Structure 1
């Protein structure tokens, strides 16, 4: 090693009356200071531009939200998914159109749904952060470009057609029967208390995973209904706002080995293992010599399509499968829990729906077929009301019109606003579904409203709308209807009688059912045990 001589040392160190000062460090400090001052001035300039000269400057909203994304990050990351509540308060203060961050405008006007979510005739993009938040940036749902999305979506549309899903009904019936058989074993005078969120997630998981891969984890046979995995999945969802705000963390988590991930983030290993299982299954299906192995899975359309080879990689198809499975598990599980809670909390509604189900079935219908229940007015009104109050997806649904300008008129204030092409426009299910101008007593469970006024359907966006609506809508509705109908058919609400009954156990609506935070899916309050029900036979 070469040592510095005295002349080198003198060049590095300046000796003055005030002592020693290290000139290289001095200049580094000056450069850092100038850089910091420049960044501060740039930030101030951007903030001023956003509230004065920006194309959205006239859109009402809190100034601090329009100046910087850090306002949203504070509510989403620091306060853990609370921005949807703040946005609702913004609408109360500013009206039906609000600018919620520098580049996004949010609406609370059901009459404007078709403009934000057009069915055809206009290209509709998505912002990049949708894929970052979900952890699946290469999935169909997260596809930013309209044309690419249409190509990807077209490759799986047939797989989610009503006719194709109808062929899967024997699996739905089999899984419902497995649940009923397990419940029939929990009897006794005091019965057994079950966490229904886990049970319903297990049901939804075995359904959608079998549909997508031809195989599943058989959570319905697991002693704890797959509780470890669903706890891990919930942990993953709780990272969504961190992923969206700081994408590098999303990439680190998704690419970290399972054993290492478990060291840094407790209880995320099970989720990571299932992701690995999905990629492995994609490879097995692609390389299988049995053509039925492909034809019976979601990958049939993708592999056989005219999509370029880069659209058919194992990782990209696994992203599609992962998002479809995650969405199918958690969203359906939440909505089923909420609907069952509302029914058990409203005995009159339970009785009306039960009588309608029984009158439509024969004695041989142990598990009701979808054909016999899909047109029952009150039963389907129960499901619609449950989806209105407790949608499975709570995050705001953001769209971009890349070519056409949108105009919005606030009728109450008589003002018209222009949204230039490229503006991010969004709505939130729960905010739209609880608009008091559309729904009387918006927070009350009242299924009859859908029978009295069928036009309310125009304001229901539980599965989104337009060309980018939820591809699994038919699948989710069928599996929810079949298990709810089976529960109503076989169980009464407990009031001291003998026979198969259900009873709410230490479940509080505001704590355990109502959405307290938004992590793409709704999350209950901290300390919640979820919906718990005591079964007696």
Structure 2
């Protein structure tokens, strides 16, 4: 007999099933070519594997479309069936799935299914249900920790109770009282920033402000969290190689998410392998290694005061078990704090400077407020002074609305309690089962025209005229898992912006310290084009560039 072929197998199985009720043909099973030893070949196991794979695939598709607990939630069928739809947009097209999700909302309504396991909402009335307070358990989706490679950090902690315990150890470190103690040191770094800008102004130099602000925010957060900084502001190139290296790392976050073995492979690779095969990651990898060294140095310091000046003090002095105090876990915490306080705040600052320079009336309005409150231009603004500048704070709120520092979706999981959602637009109700990843995205929520009139327009006054808009604001998330460093970030942004506005005017051909946008286009250089957790501009963008004159 000839070799068994896949079509023959399927045909014979069909014949057997049709004849199974006929007692006279009960031997049909044993007569199948498939079970005849003489007909086996090397390819037969392959045919079996393909058959089983096809059966599994068809069954999985049928389950996800009809039997899944979220099968009734609207959205494109291909997204419900496979993660490859999301992978195509986020890996192949480079962090653009957020655009597709926004299109889904426009087509299907305020609730959509974005992949086999996740739901996304764009409804301001449902924010507190997605980001609840302490009265309801809220887990993180397991994908979260994969994105940054810091699975042991607070942000990536999945379990509600473990997150609460870990967060409590550093809550005091980010309190307003603790932040205020850093004011003199923060002013030193801001003075360094202004000095670099003044030096550039002597030759009317164009500065890459996106790198300048990242150097500034990096120095500030590392000084605050670890007692010393990398002094990036003092480097001639503002440590651009390090910034570019972290950009490469962020661009890998979708790959880490969908193919976690890549992150595991990188994490276990020796430094020489990184330098040889991925040299663009070298600078960041070296700094990551320094965090572990820094943890060890602080832990073993004979000076107890040295520990108290770092973020590690709360963890090391807590009642957490020893496995929660390992060098690796603390290094993950350190790395996450740097990531969170560096690129996000820098992006907000560069967006703020761009919008103010591109909108002279807004610049003049906030400058008048700053000078009225702080007439002495020889002294830097203080925390207490910038806190009481309503228009400056409205500018910052509007900037975070249009240009949030974190643009990846914010997943939350209610592990025990299902959630009822009423779609008022379509008058339908949906049950979001317990254990389902429910998401909101700041960029999408903040551009909702039903809430924010002309959402693309820069209008700080809207926050003064209508304080209720705060209910629709999720720039720092919400609930028990909101951004723990948001007070630090707001004060940092207020001080830096106020200091620059205090010293400089918009260039109109006049003498004196001025700033002028240089070949900067909002759509290309400032707006979100690619979601890699933090916002990235269009490919090939030179970033925010400003010509400085003295």
TM-score by length of 1: 0.94
- 1:341 equivalent to 2:350? Answer no
**Residue 365 of structure 1: how far off its partner (Å):** 5.2
- 1:242 equivalent to 2:255? Answer yes
Superimposed CA distance per residue, residues 181-233 of structure 1 (whole angstroms, 9 cap, x where no aligned partner): 12112234x60000011110111101111112111210010001110100000
**In the alignment, which of 314, 323, 344 is matched to residue 301 of structure 1?**
314
**Residue 515 of structure 1: how far off its partner (Å):** 0.5
- 1:167 equivalent to 2:206? Answer no
**In the alignment, which of 111, 114, 135 is matched to residue 125 of structure 2?**
111
**Residue 47 of structure 1: how far off its partner (Å):** 1.1
**Residue 36 of structure 1: how far off its partner (Å):** 2.5
Q: 2 CA distance for matches of 1:129 and 1:413?
A: 31
Q: Which residue matches 2:171?
A: 157
Q: Which residue matches 1:36?
A: 50
Q: 2 CA distance for matches of 1:488 and 1:519?
A: 30
Q: 1 CA distance for matches of 2:357 and 2:391?
A: 16
5+ residue gaps, structure 2: 1-36
TM-score by length of 2: 0.92
Q: Which residue matches 1:131?
A: 145
Q: Which residue matches 2:111?
A: 97
Q: 1 CA distance for matches of 2:441 and 2:378?
A: 39
Q: Which residue matches 1:423?
A: 436
Judge which range, 357-366 or 425-434, deviates more.
357-366
**Residue 38 of structure 1: how far off its partner (Å):** 1.1
Q: Is the 8 A contact 2:138 2:415 kept in 1?
A: yes
Q: Which residue matches 1:394?
A: 407
**Residue 28 of structure 1: how far off its partner (Å):** 4.3
Q: Which residue matches 1:255?
A: 268
Secondary structure class of the residue paired with 1:185: helix
Q: 2 CA distance for matches of 1:468 and 1:448?
A: 29
Q: Which residue matches 2:18?
A: none
**Residue 362 of structure 1: how far off its partner (Å):** 3.5
Q: Which residue matches 2:207?
A: 194
- 1:206 equivalent to 2:222? Answer no
Q: 1 CA distance for matches of 2:181 and 2:541?
A: 38
Secondary structure class of the residue paired with 2:314: helix
**Residue 78 of structure 1: how far off its partner (Å):** 1.0
Superimposed CA distance per residue, residues 10-48 of structure 1 (whole angstroms, 9 cap, x where no aligned partner): xxxxxxxxxxxxx99x74432123212212221221111
Q: 2 CA distance for matches of 1:394 and 1:364?
A: 36
- Over 3 Å counting, the alpha-carbon distance change for 1:28 and 1:222 in structure 2 is farther
**In the alignment, which of 513, 518, 524 is matched to residue 511 of structure 1?**
524
Q: Is the 8 A contact 1:341 1:531 kept in 2?
A: yes
Secondary structure class of the residue paired with 2:279: coil
Q: Which residue matches 1:440?
A: 453
Judge which range, 374-383 or 496-505, deviates more.
374-383
Q: Which residue matches 2:190?
A: 176
Q: Is the 8 A contact 2:377 2:503 kept in 1?
A: no
Q: Is the 8 A contact 1:68 1:102 kept in 2?
A: yes
Q: Is the 8 A contact 1:389 1:434 kept in 2?
A: yes
- 1:185 equivalent to 2:199? Answer yes
Superimposed CA distance per residue, residues 37-82 of structure 1 (whole angstroms, 9 cap, x where no aligned partner): 2122212211111111111111000000001111111111111111
How many residues align? The count is: 514
Q: Which residue matches 1:12?
A: none
Q: 1 CA distance for matches of 2:404 and 2:183?
A: 24
Superimposed CA distance per residue, residues 396-440 of structure 1 (whole angstroms, 9 cap, x where no aligned partner): 000000011100001111101001111110000000000000000
Secondary structure class of the residue paired with 2:452: coil
**Residue 267 of structure 1: how far off its partner (Å):** 1.1
- 1:45 equivalent to 2:98? Answer no
Q: 2 CA distance for matches of 1:245 and 1:33?
A: 29
Q: Which residue matches 2:231?
A: 218
Q: Which residue matches 1:20?
A: none
Q: Which residue matches 2:100?
A: 86
Q: Is the 8 A contact 1:259 1:269 kept in 2?
A: no
Q: 1 CA distance for matches of 2:271 and 2:542?
A: 28
Q: 1 CA distance for matches of 2:345 and 2:109?
A: 32
Q: 2 CA distance for matches of 1:181 and 1:510?
A: 30
**Residue 135 of structure 1: how far off its partner (Å):** 1.1
Q: 2 CA distance for matches of 1:324 and 1:524?
A: 23
5+ residue gaps, structure 1: 1-22
**Residue 265 of structure 1: how far off its partner (Å):** 1.6
Superimposed CA distance per residue, residues 72-130 of structure 1 (whole angstroms, 9 cap, x where no aligned partner): 11111111111000000000000000000111110001110000000121100011110
Q: Which residue matches 2:305?
A: 292
Q: Which residue matches 1:454?
A: 467
**In the alignment, which of 18, 39, 61 is matched to residue 75 of structure 2?**
61
